[in-house]
Amino acid sequence: MSETPVKIVVDLSKPKGQRESIIELTSAELTEREEMRIESEASQAAQDKSEKATAAKKLSGRNKLLALGLTEAEVTALVG
């Protein structure tokens, strides 16, 4: 197994059976991949934060409805 990650390049201008090449990433590609990893982790973290905020709001709203005297069944019927 190669230590350097590889890419599979499929050249569709070639006849079937001759299209696939497996090529090690260049140092420039490895650098770009690292930059994209950092960016994608940041966007993923933002997404995770958004999902947690949504879940927290949902729970808070549910608790407020229960505090108003609605039953669990009624709250579930209203908001799922």
Tell me which of 26, 32, 76, 79 binds another protein, using CB under 8 A.
32
**Whole-angstrom Cα distance, residue 53 to residue 56?**
5
DSSP 15: P
Binding mask 52-71 for another protein (x = CB under 8 A): --xx--x-------------
* Number of neighbouring beta carbons within 10 Å of residue 15: 6
- Amino acid letter for position 2: S
Are 2 and 23 in contact by the 8 Å Cβ rule? The answer is no
Q: Does 79 participate in binding another protein (rule CB under 8 A)?
A: no
The residues binding another protein (CB under 8 A) are 1-2, 5-14, 16, 19-20, 22, 25, 32-33, 36-37, 39-41, 43-44, 46-47, 50-51, 54-55, 58
